[in-house]
Structure 1
Amino acid sequence: MIKVPLRILLVEDNEADILITRRSIQKLVEAPLIVVVEDLSSCREKLVNFIPDLVISDYNLPTCTGLDVLELVKEKDPALPLIFLTGTVHDEELAANTILAGASGYILKKHMNKLEEKLKPLLKKVVFNMVAKDEVRERLRKNKIAINQIYDYLDSLKADNKEQRENIGKLKDTIREFNEEKDGDDSKA
């Protein structure tokens, strides 16, 4: 069972599929927080105010398609994973196109009886990526603390002459530039 609490936005209009999906997620995740919407405007609002860790969306919705949902999700947060559930079974090209468009996974509704089994590896991947990002953020935080301590130390040095003061200033500038480059590299991770 996944111990990390997940915030999941479920974009689905079919009550039976909502129940099956909820039940499957609850078997896999210890403390899921699942919010259900069935249209694009509600999805947009939840992406802003609920801030999910994962979006699971039906592909065929009454007022839009799954690609509309995917486009909205990528507009709000390009790194946010989205998994499609769909009853469209005859179009393997559709499945490939959704993955190429940025979906994290694709599960056919004909496999709803095995949804738990199909969701498990996808949810584990989401959690793994969340933990990896947390580790990067923690490393960044520790680096910034170290840099701030170096600044404090440099500020505490009593520079006796102009040349020493200039060298301390150059050292601070070099550290600042390195820190800005490092932040840029880590934000790509």
Structure 2
Amino acid sequence: MIKTALRILLVEDVKTDAELLEHHIKKIVDTPEIKVADNLDDIAALLHSFAPDVVISDYNLPTCNGLDVLKLTKDYDHALPFIFVTGTIDDDELAANTILSGATGFVLKKHMKNMAEKLKPLLKQVVFNMIEKEELREKIRKNRISINQIYKYLDEINVDNEEQRQNVVKIKQNIDKISNREDAE
């Protein structure tokens, strides 16, 4: 059982399929928060207001297809994991195209009886990546705290002349450059 809470945007137009997928997800994830949508407008709104950890999408939808949903998702956040759960991708070329387009993986609906078993490794990878990113965010946070402490120290230095004041300014500028480079990475 995955203990990390997951926010899941489920893109599905068939109510019974959505309910079955929710049932299987709850077998894998201890505390999932699941929102369901079936059109691009609702998906876009949920991407911004719900901020999911992963998108799980059907391929055939009434007003669009899975590649449209994938593009919208990747435009919102190129690193957001995206999993197709569909009955359509039985074609090897179409399956390959979904992966090449940025999907994290796909599971066929014909495996609905053991969907939890099929989804579990994909969702475990999502959690692993979330934890990895969280560690990076924590390191960045600690670096910023250190930088703020250095700034405070520099502000408290008793400078005797203009040259020393200019040196303090240059030190702060160099710290800013290094800090901005680290944030961009």
TM-score by length of 2: 0.95
Q: Is 1:132 the counterpart of 2:151 in the alignment? A: no
Between 1:106-115 and 1:165-174, the stretch displaced more is 165-174
Find the counterpart in structure 1 of residue 182 from structure 2.
182
Q: Aligned with 2:9: secondary structure? A: strand
User: Aligned ranges for residues 74-85 of structure 1 at < 5 Å?
Assistant: 74-85=74-85
Shift of 1:161: 2.5
How many residues are treated as equivalent by the alignment? 185
User: Aligned ranges for residues 1-189 of structure 1 at < 5 Å?
Assistant: 1-185=1-185
- Give the Cα separation in 1 of the matches to 2:98 and 2:109: 15
Deviations 1:52-101 (A, max 9, x none): 11111000112111001101111111111110011125411101100000
- Give the Cα separation in 1 of the matches to 2:50 and 2:169: 45
Q: What do you get for the CA RMSD once the two structures are aligned?
A: 1.2
Structure 2 residue runs of 5 or longer lacking an equivalent are: none
Shift of 1:165: 2.2
The answer (yes or no) to whether the contact 1:89–1:110 under 8 Å persists in 2 is no
Shift of 1:16: 2.3
TM-score by length of 1: 0.93
Structure 1 residue runs of 5 or longer lacking an equivalent are: none
Q: Aligned with 1:10: secondary structure? A: strand
Deviations 1:128-155 (A, max 9, x none): 1111111111111110110010011011
Q: Aligned with 2:34: secondary structure? A: strand
The one-letter code matched in structure 2 to 1:39 is N
The answer (yes or no) to whether the contact 1:8–1:32 under 8 Å persists in 2 is yes
